[in-house]
Amino acid sequence: MYAQLSQKGRFKERFAYIYEQITKLGKYDGIVFVVDEFRSWQDRHLPGTAAYAEDEKILETLAFVLPTTHLNIITIVASQGDMPQKLSGGGQGDRFIPLYLLAGKNKGDFGEIVTFRCRELLASAGTDIKDYYDFCRKEYKFIKQGNVSLEYFTAIFPFQPRTFDVMRRITQNADKHNLPTARSAIRMAWQALGDDGIMKGKRLITLSDIIRTDELRKGLNHEHYRDDFQSLQGAVGQLPELDVSPEEREQTRRVLDTLFLWVMSLPDNLRDGMTAGEVAEAAWLMDDAVGSTAQAEHLLTKLVQGGFPVRGEKKTRDGKDVVVYSYESTVAQDNPVRHFGPLKKKAKEDFKTQDLKWADALFWQLPDITQEAQADLGVNGGILADYQPSDQRSAAERQAGKPALYQFPYTAATSTKRVYKVQYGGEVIVSDRWRAEFGEDIKNADQHFRIVYLTAKPDFDDAKITTALKDARAVVCRPESLSEDTREALADLMAAEQMKRNASAPNQMNLR
C-alpha cells in the first residue's frame, strides 16, 4: 500500500487501488482511514500553496469523491484546529460532518484531561477537597450555576472551573493564538502548579495565575495579542498609583488579569464582559467584612475611576439589569500611557543602558531642530558634539535601537582663536575612563595644551588625577555621578524610544 501511494498519479486512482486490493481478499468490505492531528500536519504548509491544496484534496478524495462511487470508505479526522472551509459541512452527504468534542455538554472533559496529565492527589486529599467544595458552594455561585459535582471538582482540583473555559478557547486555534493547542494548556497548568507560593496558599488556581506562566506569556507576545498584552502590562505597572490598600493591590491585579483573559479568549463577535460576582469567583476575591461580590464591585469601581482599561455598562441578563465589566484595549484608544509605564519601569532598572545613553547624549547632533527651538533651549547639540568618536554599531544594531558604542579614547586636534595674529594648537581627548598616559608631559613642540573630557566620573577621587598630571598645560573635565533626576530623564528617553520602535507597524500610525 505504501509503495503504491508513493507513485505518481491521481489520488482517486491510488486510493481506489488500495480499496480493491483489500476488499478482494474477501475478509473485508471497506476501509476506515484515521487522520490524527490534521491541523499540525497542514500547518507545515502555507495557505495558497500547492502543498496546502494537496492536503485538502487528499481528504476530499477519501471522504467525498471515492464514497460517491460506492466504495465503502470512512475517513475520521481528528484536529483541534478549524476545519478547512472547502471541506466543511454539516449534513448527510457533505464532505465532512463536524462532531465537536470537548465542547457543549462535554466541555468539562478538557479540564479533567489537562489536570490528569499534570498533577496527582495525595491519598488524604479527599477531606480537604470536600472542605473547599463546601466553602465554594457557600460563598460563590459557580458550583450551583454550573451544576459542578464534587466528582468533577475533585477531578480538576485545585483549579477554578472557569480557568479551563478560557484555556480551552484560547488554545483551540494555533493559527490565531500561536499556542500549540491542548499541549500548551497542559504546560500552563503544570507551570502554575510549580509555583510554591500558590501551593502554600489557601485558594484555587485562577486565571491570574495562568497568565503569569511562561507558556501563556509566550503566546500573548505573539503579534495577534502583543499590543493588548503590552497594554495590560502598562495597566499593571500603574497599580501602585491606584487608591487601594496594599493588601487589595494583588486582588486588583487578579481582577485585571481575569478580565483581560476572559475577553481575549472570546471570538471578536461574541465578546462580552463579566458581572462583579463572576469576577469575584474567577479571581477568588474574599473580604470577610463585605463579601466577595461587594469587594469586586469596590475594586472594579476604583479601576474605572482611575482611568484603567476597564469598562462597565448596563445590560439585561435573564430579565435583570446588571452591570457587566470588560477589559477595554487601550490600543484601540491610541493611548500611549499604558504602553509607556512598563517600558519605563524596565528602563529604570537598566543602569548600564542608562550610562550608555548618557554618553550618547554628550555627542548628540541636532541639525533638525529649528533655530527658534535652539535659541529657546540654548543648545545646538550635545556638550561634546564637536568631538564625536566613531560609532561601532552595525546598521542592524542601529535599527534595533541599541545604544551607541563609541571607540574610546578619541583624540582630536584643535586650536585656540587667533588673537593678535597668534594661534595655539592643542588636542582634545574624549574617553570613558581615566588613563595614565593622559597625564604625561606634552612633548610635541607645536602642541600647547591638552583637554581631557571623561564621559563618566571615575571610581577614585580627584586627587589621583591631580597628582598624575605632570604638565601644567593639561586639564581634565569630568561629570559628577548621575543624579536621580538625570536617571529618571534617561529612563523616560529610553522608554519613549522603545515605544516608538514598538509602534513602527503600519497599523500603529495613530499611536505613533
State residue 354's pLDDT score: 92
Of the ranges 9-18, 247-256, 273-282, which one carries the lowest mean pLDDT score? 9-18
**Percentage of residues of the chain with pLDDT beyond 70:** 82
Q: What is the mean pLDDT of the chain?
A: 81
Given a contact cutoff of 8 angstroms between Cβ atoms, the answer to whether 346 and 237 are in contact is: no
Cα 208 to the chain's mean position, in Å?
14
Instruction: Give dist(CA 396, CA 411) in Å, integer.
Output: 27
Model confidence at 6, in pLDDT bands (50, 70, 90)? very low
Single out the residue of 316, 321, 315, 285 nearest to residue 300, CA to CA. 285
Of the ranges 156-165, 175-184, 269-278, which one carries the lowest mean pLDDT score? 175-184
Instruction: Give dist(CA 478, CA 466) in Å, integer.
Output: 12
Position with higher pLDDT, 380 vs 433: 433
Beta pairing, strands 425-431 & 450-454: parallel
Position with higher pLDDT, 385 vs 180: 385
* Count of CB atoms situated within 10 Å of the CB of 210: 26
State residue 139's pLDDT score: 83
Is the pLDDT reported for residue 481 higher than 60?
yes
Instruction: Give dist(CA 483, CA 474) in Å, integer.
Output: 28
Fill in the amino acid letter for 452.
V
443-473: pLDDT as tens digits: 999 899 999 999 999 988 889 999 999 999 9
Fill in the amino acid letter for 448.
H
All three cell numbers of 396? 542592524
Single out the residue of 361, 351, 367, 426 nearest to residue 388, CA to CA. 361
Sequence-separated (6 or more) residues with CB below 8 Å from residue 365: 381, 382, 385, 388
Model confidence at 222, in pLDDT bands (50, 70, 90)? confident
**Percentage of residues of the chain with pLDDT beyond 90:** 19
Is the pLDDT reported for residue 418 higher than 50?
yes
Map residue 285 onto helix, strand or coil: coil
State residue 488's pLDDT score: 92
Provide the sign of the torsion angle of the four alpha carbons 153, 157, 160, 161, taken in this order.
negative
State residue 182's pLDDT score: 66
Q: What would the mean pLDDT of 361-389 be, rounded to a whole number? A: 75
Is the pLDDT reported for residue 370 higher than 80?
no
* Count of CB atoms situated within 10 Å of the CB of 112: 16
Model confidence at 490, in pLDDT bands (50, 70, 90)? very high
In terms of DSSP H, where are the helices of 119-245?
125-139, 142-145, 150-156, 161-170, 174-177, 181-193, 196-199, 207-211, 214-220, 226-237
Name the residue with cell 593622559: 438
Map residue 445 onto helix, strand or coil: coil
Most confident of 45-54, 121-130, 397-406, 425-434: 425-434
Given a contact cutoff of 8 angstroms between Cβ atoms, the answer to whether 482 and 506 are in contact is: no
Instruction: Give dist(CA 152, CA 111) in Å, integer.
Output: 9
What is the edge-to-edge ordering of all strands in the sheet holding 474-477?
Answer: 410-415, 425-431, 450-454, 474-477
Is the pLDDT reported for residue 8 higher than 50?
no
* Count of CB atoms situated within 10 Å of the CB of 270: 6
* Count of CB atoms situated within 10 Å of the CB of 350: 14
Q: Which helix (H) or strand (E) holds 281?
A: helix 276-282
All three cell numbers of 15? 486510493
Q: What would the mean pLDDT of 335-360 be, rounded to a whole number? A: 84
The answer to whether the bond into 403 is cis (omega within 30° of 0) is no
Single out the residue of 162, 144, 150, 343 nearest to residue 236, CA to CA. 343
Instruction: Give dist(CA 360, CA 146) in Å, integer.
Output: 60
Q: What predicted TM-score, i.e. pTM, was given to this entire model?
A: 0.53
Q: Which helix (H) or strand (E) holds 110?
A: helix 108-118
Q: What would the mean pLDDT of 317-332 be, rounded to a whole number? A: 75
State residue 324's pLDDT score: 86
Name the burial class of residue 136, with classes exposed (0-12), middle (13-18) and buried (19+) by CB atoms within 10 angstroms of its CB.
Answer: buried
